[in-house]
Amino acid sequence: MSSDSDGQENGNGTGKRSFAAHIFAPIKITWDQFVDLIIPFNHSPHIRRHAASVTISRVQLMSAIFGLLVPMLSIIDWFVFPWPQWAMMTCLRILSGAIFFLLAWPWNIEKTRQQADSMLMAMLLVPPLFYLMSIKIIEPLELTEFGQLVAKLYSLMPNIVLAGLAMFPLTAFEVAIFATPAFVFAIVGQFMEGQALSLQVHGPALWLMVLVMGVAMFSGMSQLHYMSALVNKAMIDPLTQAYTRRSGNETIELLFRLSSLQNTPLSVAFFDLDKFKSINDTYGHEEGDRALRTLSDKLKAGLRKGDVLVRWGGEEFIAILNNTDAAGARVVIERLREAGFGLRPDGAPLTASIGLAERIRDATPDWAHLVEKADGRMYEAKKTGRDRAVFPDNVVLAFSSAPAQ
């Protein structure tokens, strides 16, 4: 999700951000955030992972509840339908309950977005499928008035699906995708009951489904925005807008695991701002904060889209360079240094001591050793003159002939 503030309006995006801020004024939403609530494709890994965790937890909770209630409601079928229809309905309920219990079971699974979507879709398909199968079971019966009422209640299963979507932090696009089967099954059910679709007869029911989907869509988007705001607040450093160390740990742990499984390179560049203490001592902490923000902005501007910048602590930052070997990391670091890291309060250039480690080249067993190796090389760069980078195999790249002042 975007971390831009409402006041950051420029160019032709001004009207868009103003429009979004006006419509969503109580929750201070920006245009970029509004787009992220419509489509899920630009969400950060942290948001996707957290949304997946929430979705799976709620799928398991709702499945546990329905896994108990659906078989218990067989009592109604026993009173309404004759043999063998009530037995068939009971078997259908037991089967549905078994599926719900499988979804509710605390499997040891990785909580990915794909896993969450699969579980949610499976749960949402059970009620409308139950509805279609119940039509075939009770179709030959001459139902009593109470039996007709029960059958009508079964026809509301697609609406239950749509209402259930309000429980999950979803974008508008995702709600529309998950709601599509409910509309399809509702129409198929009308045909199976021998009814020809009529705008006058079925229009109000379909319109009600659209309204229920709209409410679910608004609820899902609101939950997603609130969740994203909390996650961003916890994972983004408020001063530099880089990731916090805690969220950085989670990111590098995940990327290291993926890199190991796929046998792809992973590099970590450790940056330490040179002579930072002298800025605080001479010009005050406000200028020190300004220097940190400047360095962070320069690094983020120069890093690639898939790279991650983390404020590791104080004046220390690490850049996680995914799918990048030592040679590729050197190109990135040279480009960053050539662009510059900003200026000190006295007008001199900001410089940094940099250490680089790469998973395969350094044969690191875990992400912590990878960061430790980069940290050690950063200290080596600092001890040997600052404003330089130390790479694997003791390769040193000095950017200037004199230490930073």
Domain termination residue (choose one: 180, 202, 234): 234
Which of 178, 186, 195 shows the shortest CA–CA distance to 132? 186
Percent of the chain whose predicted confidence (pLDDT) is above 90: 64
Read off the pLDDT of each residue in 21-31 and give the average, rounded to a whole number: 60
The token pair at 17 is: 């951000």
At 105, is the pLDDT very low, low, confident or very high (cuts 50, 70, 90)? very high
- What would the DSSP string read from start to end of 326-379? HHHHHHHHHHHHHH---B-TTSPBP-EEEEEEEHHHHT-SSHHHHHHHHHHHHH
- 282 and 207 co-located in one domain: no
Find the mean pLDDT for residues 158-173.
Answer: 93
Q: What is the pLDDT of residue 13?
A: 47
Residue at a domain's end among 211, 234, 257: 234
Contacts 24+ apart (CB under 8 A), 215-218: 215/163, 215/166, 216/162, 216/163, 216/164, 216/165, 216/166, 216/175, 216/179, 217/165, 217/170, 217/172, 217/175, 217/176
**CB-based contacts of 372, cutoff 8 Å, min separation 6:** none
- Domain assignment of residue 120, yes or no: yes
pLDDT given at position 117 = 95
Are 282 and 343 members of one domain? yes
- Which of these, 19, 61, 44, 17, lies nearest to 229 by C-alpha position? 44
Q: Above 70 in pLDDT, residue 131?
A: yes
pLDDT at position 7, please? 40
- Domain assignment present for residue 23? The answer is no
What's residue 19's pLDDT?
55
**Average pLDDT of span 89-109:** 93
Partnered with residue 321 across adjacent β-strands are 267
Quote the CA–CA distance of 355 and 391 in Å, as a whole number.
Answer: 6
Among 136-150, 154-168, 269-283, the range of highest mean pLDDT: 269-283
Mean pLDDT, to the nearest integer, of 34-49? 88
Number of domains in the chain: 2
Check if the beta carbon of residue 144 is closer than 8 Å to that of residue 91: no
pLDDT grade for 146, boundaries at 50, 70 and 90 = confident
C-alpha torsion sign, points 397, 400, 402, 403: negative
Question: Which pLDDT does position 27 carry in this prediction?
Answer: 56
Host domain of residue 56: 39-234
Same-domain check for residues 84 and 154: yes
Nearest Cα neighbor of 47 from 99, 113, 108, 106 is 113
Confidence of residue 20 (pLDDT cuts 50, 70, 90): low
Q: For residues 281 and 209, what is the distance between their CA atoms, to the nearest angstrom? A: 65
CATH number of residue 278's parent domain: 3.30.70.270
Per the domain annotation, does 31 fall within a domain? no
Domain boundary among 234, 258, 276: 234
Concatenate the DSSP letters of all residues of 157-190 into one string: HHHHHHHHGGGS---HHHHHHHHHHHHHHHHHHH
Q: What tens digit of pLDDT does each residue of 287-341 get?
A: 999 999 999 999 999 998 889 999 999 999 999 999 999 999 999 999 999 999 9
Same domain, 225 and 267: no
Distance between start and end Cα atoms, the chain = 38
Cα–Cα distance, 307 to 133 (Å, whole number):
50
The pLDDT of residue 64: 96
Phi, psi of 10 (to 5 degrees): -150, 165
Band of pLDDT at residue 198, cut at 50, 70 and 90: confident
Residue 22 lies in a domain: no
The dihedral region occupied by 316, where left means phi > 0, alpha psi between -120 and 50, and beta the remainder, is beta
Share above pLDDT 70 across residues of the chain, in percent, rounded to a whole number: 92
